[in-house]
Structure 1
Amino acid sequence: MIRASFFFSNMAAGALQLAVALLSLFSAVLSFPLGPETKHTTTCGYESCHATKPNMLNVHLVPHTHDDVGWLKTVDQYFYGDRNDIQHAGVQYILDSVVDQLLKNPDRRFIYVETAFFYRWWKRQSSSAQQTVKQLVNEGRLEFVNGGWCMSDEATTHYSAVIDQMTIGLRFLNETFGACGRPRVAWHIDPFGHAREHASMFAQMGYDGFFFGRLDYQDRMHRMVQKEQELLWRASDSLTPPTADLFTGILPNGYNPPEGFCWDQSCDDPPIRDDPDLEDYNVDDVVMRFLTIANSQATVYKTNHIIMTMGSDFQYENANLWYKNLDKLIHYVNAQQANGSKVNVLYSTPSCYLQELHRANLTWALKTDDFFPYADSAHDFWTGYFTSRPALKRYERISNSNLQTCNQLEVLGGPASRQGPFGEGESQTMKKAMAVAQHHDAVSGTEKQHVANDYARRLANGWQRCQVLVSNSLAALSGSSAKRIYCDNLNISVCPLTESSKKFSVSVYNPLARPVTRPVRLPVNGTAYAVSDANGKAVDCQVSTREVRRNRGFAVNELVFQVQAPPLGYSTYSVSLRQAGPRPASAQPGAPTVIQNKFLRVTFDPDTGLLSSLSNLETKQSIKLTQNFYWYNASDGNNLESNQPSGAYIFRPNSSTPFVISRTAKTETIQVQFPHMVQEVRQWFAPWVSQVVRLHGDSRALELEWTVGPLPIDDGLGKEVITRLDTSIKTSEIFYTDSNGREVLQRKKDFRPTWNLMQSEPIAGNYYPINSRAFIKDDVDQLTVVTDRSQGGGSIHNGSLEIMLHRRLLYDDVRGVAEPLNETSNIFPEGLVVRGRLLLSLDPPSVAADAHRPLAQEVVMQPLLTFTNGDLSPNTRLEFSGLQAALPPAVHLLTLTQWDKDSVLLRLEHQFQSWESKVNSQPVTVNLQKLFSTLDVLGMSELNLSANQWKDEMMRFSWTSLPLTDGPLWLDPSTWEVTLRPMEIRTFLLRVSLR
């Protein structure tokens, strides 16, 4: 059956024959997301659940394993069971053993989560073994939950990367198992706090419910008393309910079994000894203890159903141990029903448990905020990982941008882009590396050092393969076969080509669906250059002196010029060395009093050299603004209140007052030869902290480029470095952060919306994840800070915003990683040096989002620079756009990626919340058929967010909470025109052909 109505829109009667042909043409693509048809010997999903007993307490035993996609060991080491001297864990043996044991008893159940591991295991199985597994899946005995490539972190991940990693995992399950492989439940049992945006995404992916294990200890106690450990999470204030509503359950034991009931080879609990002739017979004791635990647990949940997670980290390597004892437990506990017991135990899954909660038809508590920050006791706030491993966090963000560029150019360049040593797989390595990097012990920075190195290596390998694809695509689009060179070390001003060549070209590819203007900074050795754009027009440029960092590269100067890149396209600039010219601008001692362009005015205190004010010249706003660097002394755990030290997870300063990092030299400033280009103030605060305050000629944002490290530890003190912005804005102890780069949430000092907080850590307990931006505001002014990676921050003082930049610690925080967060490298053996950027903008609150949302997207989706040496061929196409026209300001092209030979996956999102902007918080309509310049869109069908279900077939459980208020209904004007409402993401499978 055809999946979309567009075939007949605006079609004359004479075209009916064509339509019939098209029906045949598209049928294969439009049935794809559902996966292969499967013949069920029984049933899967909700229909495969064991029967429960209505007048009893039903205990749902959920056998499971939690398999980290890297943590103490690398992904490969975990899969193969290597390096057991670090941790005994081998995922391949877990899956072998579980499948064998499931076959021995049809009542048994098992859930599996991490597709990255299952995919590896599956590829190594024989066809007969694969058929056996398919049968287990079709009968609901082996069930997939969550189903993403990994179980992603929720604090430090960007929503675009999360959607991608979920899509790759769920697609594999669809292709392999069909509808029976589709998870019904999201399962985040280990992440360290939970983001509202994740719940919103899961709801839009079609999940019926969400279960997790970790929440703040005070929150848990409150919810246990109120019986609110199961609730309805309204995860968007813009999407009309129930679009982003998600039933959420908090598991009773984290994700571990009840105490005394662990029967893995890594456990010490005694087995069930049921031979009455033996002296150590213990069935009566086991049954009594289990009934006590079950009845106690039931007192803090609302229904006559409770759930018990029977498993833990990397368990079930010898599944016989678990199942043999679980079989006995179920038998002996249920046998007590003959004696009047009201407890019924059964093998179950999270979806089967969820189904029973849905059948209860109760009214559930409603939650609209998130679950950050997370603390497991009074002095143990898991807010350090918001910043841990800042270099890896930045590399992950850059890799995400590179992947989107790789995906887009694979589509725009057509089949020619996929010519290479890896054929169709050029982009797959990068996709999988990025998916693994979203794991809650990857980008979070909470892994061992050798594992962090492995994540970075995977990203680098993926990008090397993508470079082949990008080069092929740009060659096809430009008509030039000149070798493309990539300067991946521009972040430290190193590019061998620009440092040595007298003539070269720079192609700037823009992955955004709107034009972008930005400065390019290239290391050079010449003193004067001529730059021309794609039309041969001269471009203003500037050469200034620069510092050589760590003897890498040999350039003594830096060339700066503005580039403009069209939407979803590239523009090429020619650069040539001039024989003579003015001397480069150089640093001159003395603190400036002011720098300004036509939009911003920035003043400095003449005595301290620090920032003193920021003014928006367009809106006539001005605020006092002081910015400085500080460090918190990390607790070593040796104090009266608690023995908890700071570590990779935990942030615990030993004082609420940080140490100021004093400058040891006068501030220096560059006397700019071209003031309309760029103005810089270079500041040194210590030998290990410096900053460039930079104002570009046409920028509405002030750039603070900070360099921190190596953090000194000779004094025996761990250090957590922050920058703090102190302003005249009256904030009333409130500030705002983004959730995974999308919706904004309000934060208030020493306050939680759903319970009365007893604050025990005044700094760490007020830190929140900042994924792409944070701001403070009053009725007149809003200061927005856009970050270039995920970081932690807070507003500890009125009118203040602080952001943690770097951490170097001397003690492990006793959360399992078993090594201090003390990063070094071959280049920086004395400690890691990290460089980053903060972008500051000042606007009236009513229009601030119109500026900071596009700005944040520019930082996330940054242009890609490729270089060619010498002259280009005269026939080279120097400029190209993949779109017929730029998308409206409110619309972001989130995904454009090849799906199969003739179809592409497209995601468009409305990037404004419903209340943010008078202009941009309105519905926007886009015509898909008129979208691309090089692609003919022949057919389309809409999918859910994760592209594993047709949108109109996505049926979810409905839940009762507080009364719902219906929002306005916006219909698409026509088949080809789609309307996006605030915060809506729409996903389409397009049948396309190259023009």
Structure 2
Amino acid sequence: MRALLLTLAALGLTCATQHHKHSDKHKSGFLQNDDKHHQHKDVKDNHLYIHLIAHSHDDVGWLKTVDGYFSGTKVDIQDANVEMTLDTTIAELLKDPRRRYTQVEMKFFSMWWKNQDEQMKAQVRALTQEGRLEFVNAGWSMHDEACTHYEDQINNMMLGHKFLLDEVGVTPRIGWHIDPFGHSNANARLFAEMGFDALVFARADFQDAEKRMNESSMEWLWRPSFQHVGKKGQLLAHLMVDNTYYPPKYFGFDDNGEGEGPFVNDSSLSTFNADWKSAWFINYVTELATHFRTNHLMIPMGGDFRFINAHLNFVSMDRMIDYINEHYPNVTLLYSTPGMYFDSLYAANISWPTKYDDLFPYADHPDDYWTGYFTSRPGAKWQVREGQAFLHASNWLYALKALDLGSTEQEIQEILAAKNAMLDSMGIYQHHDAVTGTAKQYVADDYTLRHVTAIRANIDQVGKMINRLSYRSTGLSAHYWSQCTVNNGTYLDCPIVNNVNKSFIVTVHNPSVQTQYYQRVKVPHTAYSAQAWSASANKFVDVNSTVVCHKNRFENGYSIQDCDMWVENKVDGKALSWLFIKYDAFAPVSAPGMNRFQYLTENAKGSLFSVSSPEDGSSHYVTFQIRYYQADEGGDNYPNTDNVPSGAYIFKPKKDMQFSLPYVNVTRTESFNSSFMQQTTLYYNDAETNRSARAIIRAFAKNPAVEFEVLLDPLPASGGGQEVTANFFAYDLDSNDTFYTDSNGLEMQERVLNYRPTWTLSTDEPISANYYPINSAIVVRDTKQNLSMVVTNDRSQGGSVLDNAHIEFMQNRRLFFDDSRGVGEPLSEDGRLGLGIQVQATYTLHFVNLTATYSKQRFQQLIIDDPLQYHFAFNYTLPESAEAVKAEYQVDILKDVVQQSASGQPAPVKFQLFPMERNVLLVRLENVGDLFDYPNGTHLANTTIYIDIPTLAKNLYYQANGKQAQLSGINIVESQMSGNQNLTNMEKNKFNWKGLDDNQVVEPTMPKDLPNYLVALPAQSIRHFYVEYVPLTQKKEEVM
């Protein structure tokens, strides 16, 4: 950790320091971050310590909405009232100093907190300082680990951790993911880099859990992404017994629970039960202790929405502790917290078994693989990904606003409120019953409403920033800037729907570091031409463009002509560009010229294409096909099954029809070719089965990948449950039963058919047992040819490679039976008309020969993760002359910021900005490169790029204020992953667990930062820095 005051010697600046009163309080806690580990004394050998963990698992939406769960309404659906849980629990803690409680979800806690007076807030802070109220995990929600993108995971935790630090003054150190349905390497690694010492969860494949119980390895040292981050990514994992976070039987004291009644220790009562309950409990924990490696056991005392009546729970726990401690001298029960428990394990000073792979997929029964939710509610999954892109793009603009000397305090507060509204919505959407698609339909509708409301709260603020930046850079201004927030819809979803046959301005914002060359503008017809703003010519100039139209069919069968205007125009990374789209009845037609792929024919494997590689000109044969699985409907009474159907959680093909079938055939094709792009459209239709679809295949002159835009019309209700996949088959590859999938968009994981790295898989579900969550890409590789096929996707989906070099992604599923995992509804999204929903998804495909070039997978990911943002103006004033203004604000933010790696291979870099207050930014720097994409034997040093943070900081300031603006100084402080701790202090306080294989593994050598504040970013690294500006220039007049 470095706290850097950059002075005149480094930046040509003078130095001064200014702070806001509130930020002083925040920074004090941030910088000190004292050691909060519990101290334990007088621990005896041959003595069993039972840590009772009082907790409530509070879903941020599932069977009820977020507000419904907090306020306790709709008791007929579920008796859950988080407000009463917190009210009564805090009251009970204040009554008795020995009681302890564990709180998790920050969204609910923040809702409760805003209603408390200062006296109550002070009491809560005191409880945390005494260690009696422990916050664990502390994300805004308990996010899912399969369907979430790593950026959303970080943002979710960052929001919760900031709230907790600002309001309560604590930093959580234990991960608590007891309900997500499988666990990823990326999430574990990020948690470790947030400062978490340990991670508790309750779900692992039943075969894995059984093996761990037999081998006393229910706790292990997890080392995810070891080749990239080494031991800094490690934490101790704890798997709860029997895949549950509930108490042992007979000890569910909550009246909202199992109805097992209180612990009665008064022997004069006829209901006295302390004797037999205690005897049962001692037998239980004594046997359980044989499966663990220390004399400490963690026993959860809670469950879903428990402790509504905390008095009932704590009284029975008091009596239980007192009675057992009095009658069983070799056992000690104690109120505990996860932090206390793991402090005890660390004090035991033993070495732990290690694990390097992830925990996907998850099965709780031989037939029941929870791989359906990887795809469930695909529209919501797309909405989440669009929201992430919008959040990051808008935050970049807000960061400039926070640095702008002309910003008023009201304007600063408005952008911070808009940012927080978006973070709140996105944090809720990461919940493990939200993005997963496993909530009730009306709850899913509520998630969507919250999301749309948050975006609307931001669009006005974003439009103001676009107008300001447009005027400063070009002299262009507009009355109002609108956005097309449904980027995969039709022109009817965009502002042009009310402005047909008009010329208009489009501001194109590229939030990615990657230069982009092609813009897509939705239009109703072909009568348009395009110009782009030229800074050197100080005017709009003609650029290549073309309009391609196709038939678009809606759920009700109604069809329209929908058109895409493609413009060839270079948009630099982290920059704006301006297009003038002219209504032109005589718009020229682009001459043909592109020939990157050829549509050849239809065969048994689908539509056959020849795809050429732009690097070496080699051609490869590929087929694309839409296929489907007939869903198991349960009740089939096959031997040795539980007769559970395919549902929102579980993917289960029909028992006697395990493999997929062609869904619908191509009935018509159209092709288009221009000088810079080509397109083939495949139309699918079957009137007998009422199935239809469309696939548009595109290629662009300067893009390495071929794009497949696949539109599935509503899945018909007739014919039973259907689970539909997009399939890509390479003829000239041998994948040898091995493929690779991303981990939440980070490191690629090796997958081998019907195999698990740390236990032996036995299954009669060969399809669903080999499905994995895909958030970015699947890769198949022929090691003999050193040839790979890379297919990326645009949202969370289930996917696999079940046959040689045959990649499949599940795009939509419609089911008519519930899979008995709690939601109580079948997954049948009926849409607005009751006919089902359309789902459009985009895939990109490219081949790479690593002996000749490098993979473009991660560069494609940069564009997918941070797509172009389009802002439309139909009432505008074209620029006249504003050369002086433009020159002052024409700043290349990336100039002299990135130094590429020693290997010479470009690195896929990401920057994200989060305005925290006036003149304070949180900067996220990333290198999403992966050793997977480098030649074997490559060291991290050869993947490392260096980021010049002072130069980046200055460039941002100059773009916000002009090149004449002056700074007194810049303070730069590095934080850990969630932004709530000074990195050095976090690393000092973090446990250094020992692994049984420490003498056998070689930790990678981590590249060091260079002088002059050049920050090292090897492959897969993510670093966060607080940047505080100290302006010298005073507030100036607005330029418009």
TM-score computed with the length of structure 1 as normaliser: 0.92
Q: Please name the residue that 1:834 is paired with.
A: 839
Tell me if structure 2 keeps the 8 A contact 1:517–1:564: yes
Give 2:29's match in structure 1, choosing from 21, 28, 35: 35
Tell me if structure 1 keeps the 8 A contact 2:553–2:560: no
Q: Which amino acid aligns with 1:909?
A: E
How many residue pairs match? The answer is 967
Matches within 5 A, 1:540-579: 540-550=544-554, 557-579=563-585
Deviations 1:820-870 (A, max 9, x none): 0000222x4200111111100111145776411010121111111001115
Displacement of 1:597: 3.9
Query: Structure 1's 862 and 51: CA in aligned 2 closer, same or farther, altered over 3 A?
Result: farther
SS state at 1:563 partner: strand
Tell me if structure 1 keeps the 8 A contact 2:738–2:753: yes
Query: Structure 1's 36 and 241: CA in aligned 2 closer, same or farther, altered over 3 A?
Result: closer
Displacement of 1:880: 6.6
1:476 aligns to 2:464 (yes or no):
no
1:390 aligns to 2:378 (yes or no):
yes
Give 2:702's match in structure 1, choosing from 693, 698, 702: 698
Displacement of 1:208: 0.8
More divergent stretch after superposition (186-195 vs 473-482): 473-482
Matches within 5 A, 1:575-974: 575-581=581-587, 597=594, 600-605=596-601, 610-639=607-636, 640=638, 641-654=641-654, 655-663=657-665, 665=667, 667-672=668-673, 674-686=674-686, 687-715=691-719, 717-728=720-731, 729-779=733-783, 780=785, 781-826=787-832, 828-845=833-850, 850-874=855-879, 875=881, 881-884=892-895, 887=898, 888=900, 889-890=906-907, 892-917=909-934, 921-932=942-953, 933-935=955-957, 938-954=970-986, 955-961=989-995, 962-963=997-998, 964-974=1001-1011
1:451 aligns to 2:453 (yes or no):
no
Q: Please name the residue that 2:522 is paired with.
A: 522
Query: Structure 1's 539 and 8: CA in aligned 2 closer, same or farther, altered over 3 A?
Result: closer
Displacement of 1:361: 1.3
SS state at 1:242 partner: helix
More divergent stretch after superposition (956-965 vs 317-326): 956-965
Query: Structure 1's 855 and 263: CA in aligned 2 closer, same or farther, altered over 3 A?
Result: same
Structure 1 distance, partners of 2:830, 2:156, is 29
Displacement of 1:348: 0.6
Matches within 5 A, 1:104-115: 104-115=95-106
Structure 2 distance, partners of 1:240, 1:832, is 42
Displacement of 1:368: 0.6
Displacement of 1:360: 1.3
Structure 1 distance, partners of 2:805, 2:72, is 52
More divergent stretch after superposition (929-938 vs 880-889): 880-889
Tell me if structure 2 keeps the 8 A contact 1:197–1:236: yes
Deviations 1:83-102 (A, max 9, x none): 11111101000000101111
Displacement of 1:125: 0.5
1:222 aligns to 2:211 (yes or no):
yes
Deviations 1:500-549 (A, max 9, x none): 14211111101112322223132233534343344522111212333244
SS state at 2:166 partner: helix
Tell me if structure 2 keeps the 8 A contact 1:513–1:568: yes
SS state at 1:451 partner: helix
Identity of aligned residues (%): 32
Structure 2 distance, partners of 1:157, 1:355, is 30
Give 1:273's match in structure 2, choosing from 264, 269, 275: 264
More divergent stretch after superposition (112-121 vs 888-897): 888-897
Displacement of 1:929: 1.4
Q: Please name the residue that 1:987 is paired with.
A: 1024
Tell me if structure 2 keeps the 8 A contact 1:777–1:845: no
Query: Structure 1's 879 and 644: CA in aligned 2 closer, same or farther, altered over 3 A?
Result: farther
Query: Structure 1's 909 and 934: CA in aligned 2 closer, same or farther, altered over 3 A?
Result: closer
Matches within 5 A, 1:36-115: 45-47=36-38, 52-115=43-106
1:367 aligns to 2:358 (yes or no):
no
Structure 1 distance, partners of 2:800, 2:89, is 45
Structure 2 distance, partners of 1:396, 1:795, is 26
Displacement of 1:153: 0.2
Q: Which amino acid aligns with 1:605?
A: T
Displacement of 1:53: 3.9
Query: Structure 1's 25 and 636: CA in aligned 2 closer, same or farther, altered over 3 A?
Result: closer
Structure 2 distance, partners of 1:112, 1:613, is 57
Deviations 1:282-332 (A, max 9, x none): 111011011011111111111111110000000000011111111111111
Query: Structure 1's 629 and 48: CA in aligned 2 closer, same or farther, altered over 3 A?
Result: same
Structure 2 distance, partners of 1:8, 1:867, is 42
Structure 1 distance, partners of 2:433, 2:238, is 23
Structure 2 distance, partners of 1:391, 1:527, is 32
Query: Structure 1's 607 and 204: CA in aligned 2 closer, same or farther, altered over 3 A?
Result: closer
Q: Please name the residue that 1:357 is paired with.
A: 345
Structure 2 distance, partners of 1:137, 1:28, is 21
| RMSD over aligned Cα atoms | 2.8
Structure 2 distance, partners of 1:925, 1:558, is 39
Displacement of 1:456: 1.2
More divergent stretch after superposition (354-363 vs 750-759): 354-363
Tell me if structure 2 keeps the 8 A contact 1:298–1:304: yes
Displacement of 1:27: 10
Structure 2 distance, partners of 1:849, 1:791, is 26
Tell me if structure 2 keeps the 8 A contact 1:49–1:140: no
More divergent stretch after superposition (274-283 vs 164-173): 274-283
SS state at 1:405 partner: helix
Q: Please name the residue that 2:961 is paired with.
A: none
Structure 2 distance, partners of 1:671, 1:264, is 66
Deviations 1:439-459 (A, max 9, x none): 111111111111111111111
More divergent stretch after superposition (142-151 vs 692-701): 692-701
1:293 aligns to 2:323 (yes or no):
no
Displacement of 1:725: 1.9
Q: Please name the residue that 1:167 is paired with.
A: 158
Query: Structure 1's 662 and 413: CA in aligned 2 closer, same or farther, altered over 3 A?
Result: same
Q: Which amino acid aligns with 1:211?
A: V
1:259 aligns to 2:235 (yes or no):
no
Displacement of 1:25: 5.8
Tell me if structure 2 keeps the 8 A contact 1:647–1:809: yes
Structure 2 distance, partners of 1:838, 1:388, is 18
Tell me if structure 2 keeps the 8 A contact 1:490–1:522: no
Displacement of 1:197: 0.4
Give 2:227's match in structure 1, choosing from 234, 238, 241: 238
Query: Structure 1's 521 and 880: CA in aligned 2 closer, same or farther, altered over 3 A?
Result: farther
Matches within 5 A, 1:183-202: 183-202=172-191
More divergent stretch after superposition (82-91 vs 522-531): 522-531
Deviations 1:162-221 (A, max 9, x none): 10110110011111122xx21110000000000000010011101111110100000000
Q: Which amino acid aligns with 2:1002?
A: T
Q: Which amino acid aligns with 2:465?
A: S
Unaligned 5+ runs, structure 2: 472-476, 901-905, 958-966, 1034-1040
